[in-house]
Amino acid sequence: TRPALPLYKWLLLLLHKTIHFIFCLILQTKIPTDDKTHRAFDMGKKSILLMAFLLVCISIQPAIVRAADDDKEEKPKPKPTEADATNYDVLSPEPETGRQRAFCKSQGDCYYKTLTCPAECPERKPKKNKKQKGCFIHCGSKCEATCKWRRGKCNGYGSLCYDPRFVGGDGVMFYFHGGKGRDFALVSDTNLQINAHFIGNRPTGRTRDYTWVQSLAVMFDTHTLIIAAKKVQKWDDSVDVLLVKYDGQEVTVPFDGEAEWKTITEEREVVVERTDDTNTVRVTIGGLVEIDMKAVPITKEDDKAHNYQIPSNDAFAHFETQFRFSNLSEEVEGILGKTYRPGYVSPVKRGVAMPMMGGEDKYETKSLTSTLCKTCIFQKQPATAEDDKDHGDDNSKKSPAPVAAPKEQTPPAKTDDDSKKSPAPVAAPKEQKPPAKKDDDSKKTPAPAPKEQKPPAPKEKPAPAPKEVKPKPSPVEDDATNYDDLTPDPKSGCERAFCKSKGECHYKTLTCPAECPQRKPKKNKKNKGCHINCGSKCEATCKWRRPKCNGYGSLCYDPRFVGGDGVMFYFHGSKGRDFALVSDTNLQINAHFIGNRPIGRKRDYTWVQSVSVMFDTHTLVLAAKKVPKWDDSVDVLLMKWDGQEVTIPSEGNAEWKTTTGVREVVVERTDDTNTVRVTVGGFVEIDMKAVPITKEDDKAHNYQLPFNDAFAHFETQFRFSNLSDDVEGILGKTYRPGYVSPVKRGIAMPMMGGED
């Protein structure tokens, strides 16, 4: 069928038909015989013909213009999509330099362009040394070839690291503790399931396990791929601890040549490739998922700082992981998978130190290779006994008992207890959808029994009774700092605090560890400080007193934010301009942006060079001075209080302090140079560190910075108090109750607009 013509084309067609009809009438009209009348008729005929000709010309002109506009709109360069990033053909390397090249077939400005890898990373997959950066070709909106580490980023989308900390597909960070020796579904989709096996340890006096992910099982089509970290007593970076199994058979990933193991099934290609000399791989399941995995130990420093109490004969080898998915369905499930659903809103509490994601009962599987859980949707035959032994760790065995998760629904507070999972038969109903309704019926059948008998009623009453006991109500986040300072321990000199918070820490005395005896170390600012938490953690640990660029309220790099809602986003702004980070009824924080625009770029690369904090009737400004070359031993901080420059001492308490009529203001050094903590009482605490753009960063990102400027800027983290519900600003608005970020989730650089 022919496509419908636009209205303007119909009008032109009608006009042409009308003129043609007039021509026909004129030609068919009988010519008068009278000579005078004949001349008049002939002149009129010519006038009409001329007028008709002019009308045709006038009418054709807009058609030509419109047709040209249509061509402009239809053909050239539609906006690129994320899929365009990898839409290219690999060309032969550049003859002279050997640098690899790619021919972009994507839409947009990169259409039919050839990108060449930089000299610093000439290969996409470096073979000679796995510790070199790889060339990353982006044929999408960036249209560039840059150097990047081919390893997982623990703060990127789809990451899973540490004592399991996730960053979801929505950009929100959360923790999921699970339990040692148990298995959970990270992702469950119609054609893919990824399970994780947790190892862990429960120190004396703790109410939960410290846990880490020790192995992954990737199930797709009819196949199962397992990657595990073997149990080792002591860690050695030169010793490879990886164990890889494909469909139950152990396979070897070569160290030489391509350093990869590959197989091609009927549906897709499966590749496990080393991206470092040992313990680091990239797993690619064609059309489904790409996983960067690195096996790491629990270090002695981490053990002491967090009081893990790890046994001496186990390094607790575990994985730092990042997933990149393809073609997930809208019904995808799993601890991580559900965060990729369209319109997903995270239920975790925002703005707290450890936002927790529950749901152990929903996502627990009976083994590493089992595809059965309460919410799992992947269809595959149950795992065999041999598959269940693929953990690479023998202290984590468990029976099908954990599948008896329904027992945990009645008393949710007791989900960590593994001892109450007795009735194995309950597992069968939960593995199939029809019996799930029988569980509901079973809940209804016991219901009348308690109504007929009196004994069950008292059994239900004791449960709320402990909640009414005054001594230990559940703690809230404000309890973390609800304590009084005591005199230091007479023997060790370690500082102490008396907790006045609610919960388990009520009226307890916490003492700083020997590794960090002071909350504010004075002799050497490079020492960790003692961090006292009288809240739910109820512990004193050692922490660096510097900004965390991946924590809530952080602002670092080419400005990248992590909002109060936990969502990461970028705000570019532009060089030489100023923007409001926070604007509230009693507080405003502005930032000054510096930057550079390389040749061929459409925007500035920008960084925050100074911050202005305005409150009451005062203004505090902290800036990083411009320096041609960077030297860590040289302090570049400039501070002004109400327009007057002030000096921050480097010795003694190493702090500048003033008390206004309303509040105390402190600027304290937390390192020998260039790092401070700013405290404006009752409003905000800011950790700031001045850093340069290194030569490596300049080359890798092609910043093209001038040689006479180190571009000193700040890495910053804010912790606010008493913000109003109407707070504004680039960062401020992310702390509003119920705020939903407008940025696009799951992409490399989610952008926040609003410069105007």
Both 192 and 119 in a single domain?
Answer: no
Task: Write down which residue in 121, 148, 175 finishes a domain.
Answer: 148
Q: Which residue has the higher pLDDT, 229 or 63?
A: 229
Cβ burial 144-178 (10 Å sphere, 16+ → b, else e):
bbbbebbbbbbbbbbbbbbbbbbbbbbbbbbbbbb
Both 352 and 298 in a single domain?
Answer: yes
Q: Answer whether residue 380 is part of any domain.
A: yes
Determine if residue 573 is left, alpha or beta; phi over 0 gives left, psi from -120 to 50 gives alpha, anything else beta.
Answer: left
Both 611 and 729 in a single domain?
Answer: yes
Q: Which residue has the higher pLDDT, 623 or 68?
A: 623
Q: Which residue has the higher pLDDT, 473 or 518?
A: 518
The structure's pTM equals: 0.49
Q: Which residue has the higher pLDDT, 493 or 80?
A: 493
Task: Write down which residue in 543, 568, 592 finishes a domain.
Answer: 543
Average pLDDT of 426-443? Answer: 40
pLDDT, residue 717, reads: 95
CA pair distance 90, 581, nearest whole angstrom? 43
pLDDT, residue 383, reads: 44
pLDDT, residue 172, reads: 92
pLDDT, residue 219, reads: 96
Q: What is the pLDDT of residues 443-453, one digit of tens each?
A: 444 444 444 44
CA pair distance 390, 403, nearest whole angstrom? 19
Share of the chain above pLDDT 90, in %: 48
pLDDT, residue 521, reads: 79
pLDDT, residue 186, reads: 98
Both 494 and 640 in a single domain?
Answer: no
Q: Which residue has the higher pLDDT, 442 or 537?
A: 537
Nearest to 427 by CA among 365, 380, 369: 365
Q: Answer whether residue 755 is part of any domain.
A: no
Q: Answer whether residue 607 is part of any domain.
A: yes
CA pair distance 50, 45, nearest whole angstrom? 9
Q: What is the pLDDT of residues 310-359, one digit of tens each?
A: 999 999 999 999 999 988 999 999 999 999 999 899 999 877 888 999 98
Q: What is the pLDDT of residues 170-202, one digit of tens each?
A: 999 999 989 999 999 999 999 999 999 999 999
CA pair distance 198, 193, nearest whole angstrom? 16
Both 501 and 576 in a single domain?
Answer: no
Any idea which of 261-270, 459-468, 513-522 has the lowest mean pLDDT? 459-468
Work out the pLDDT band at 109, boundaries 50, 70, 90. confident
Q: What backbone torsions phi and psi does residue 380 show, to the nearest 5 degrees?
A: -160, 155
Counted domains in the chain:
6
Is 60 exceeded by the pLDDT of residue 221?
yes
Q: What backbone torsions phi and psi does residue 719 show, to the nearest 5 degrees?
A: -130, 115
What 3-state class would DSSP assign to 269?
strand
CA pair distance 339, 187, nearest whole angstrom? 10
Q: What backbone torsions phi and psi does residue 58 show, to the nearest 5 degrees?
A: -65, -40
Length of the chain: 756
Both 38 and 61 in a single domain?
Answer: yes
CA atoms within 13 A on the CB side of 551: 14
Both 520 and 646 in a single domain?
Answer: no
Nearest to 312 by CA among 330, 324, 300, 328: 300
Nearest to 187 by CA among 152, 220, 153: 220
CA pair distance 184, 198, nearest whole angstrom? 8
Mean per-residue pLDDT over the chain, rounded: 80
pLDDT, residue 676, reads: 93
CA pair distance 140, 528, nearest whole angstrom? 43
Q: Which token pair is 41?
A: 């008729």
Average pLDDT of 692-718? Answer: 91
CA pair distance 316, 309, nearest whole angstrom? 11
Distance of CA 225 to the CA centre of its chain: 26
Q: Answer whether residue 106 is part of any domain.
A: yes
Both 273 and 353 in a single domain?
Answer: yes
Both 116 and 203 in a single domain?
Answer: no
Q: Answer whether residue 316 is part of any domain.
A: yes
Task: Write down which residue in 494, 514, 543 finishes a domain.
Answer: 543
Calculate the alpha carbon distances from 259 to 83, 244, 248, 255, 701 in Å.
Answer: 27, 14, 22, 5, 28
Query: Residues 437, 438, 442, 448: is their CA dihedral positive or negative?
Result: positive
Work out the pLDDT band at 204, boundaries 50, 70, 90. confident
Both 373 and 427 in a single domain?
Answer: no
pLDDT, residue 259, reads: 87
Is 70 exceeded by the pLDDT of residue 537?
yes
Q: Answer whether residue 415 is part of any domain.
A: no
Distance of CA 507 to the CA centre of its chain: 38
pLDDT, residue 184, reads: 97
- Domain with 41, as residue range(s), is 7-74
Both 430 and 530 in a single domain?
Answer: no
pLDDT, residue 42, reads: 63
Q: Answer whether residue 403 is part of any domain.
A: yes
Work out the pLDDT band at 307, boundaries 50, 70, 90. confident
CA pair distance 36, 24, nearest whole angstrom? 24
Q: 3-state secondary structure string, 461-524?
A: CCCCHHHHCCCCCCCCHHHHHCEEEECCCCCCCCCEEEECCCHHHCCCEEECCCCCCCCCCCCC
Both 379 and 259 in a single domain?
Answer: yes
Query: Which residue is listed with tokens 């180190």?
Result: 710
Average pLDDT of 139-160? Answer: 88
Q: Answer whether residue 417 is part of any domain.
A: no
